[in-house]
Homo-oligomer: A and B are copies of this chain.
Amino acid sequence: MGEVKHLVVAKFKEGVAVEETLQGMAQLVSTMDMVKSFEWGTEMLGEEMLRQGFTHVFIMTFNNGEDLASYLTHPSHTNFIGTFQSALENALVFDFPSVVIKPPA
């Protein structure tokens, strides 16, 4: 098994301090060596209808399932999750081994 992705698609509640939550997430990841890479996006292009109200995408990459598990169960992560969830109206979470069809050149 190769890389494993941790994908979160989120809609924040109205009125919450999204920027603070994002900063907290960036800070968390900076201290977690098992997170190989982390990127996110919110400046959405394309059709709003196809997003069904979701506004943010977060993508983390891990070298393997063990690294993902050690992240998900790390006290700093489980502690952050409480703050994160309280800011969310809805979220989808996907953890999956990545099947690479076309690798970056």
Write the residues of chain A forming the contact surface with B, with a CB cutoff of 8 angstroms: 4-5, 7, 9, 25-26, 29-30, 35-47, 50-52, 54, 57, 59, 61, 65, 68, 72, 91-105
Complex Cα gap A61–B97 (Å): 17
Complex contacts, A40 vs chain B, CB 8 Å: 98-99, 101
Complex Cα gap A15–B61 (Å): 32
Complex contacts, A94 vs chain B, CB 8 Å: 9, 41, 44, 46, 50-51, 54, 57
Contact check, B41 vs A98: say whether CB atoms are below 8 A apart: yes
Complex Cα gap A45–B54 (Å): 22
Contact check, A42 vs B96: say whether CB atoms are below 8 A apart: yes
Contact check, B50 vs A99: say whether CB atoms are below 8 A apart: no
Contact check, A92 vs B9: say whether CB atoms are below 8 A apart: yes
Return 17 A-B CB contacts under 8 Å, by A number: A5-B59, A9-B92, A30-B101, A30-B102, A37-B100, A37-B102, A38-B101, A39-B100, A40-B99, A41-B98, A42-B96, A43-B96, A45-B95, A45-B96, A46-B93, A50-B92, A52-B92
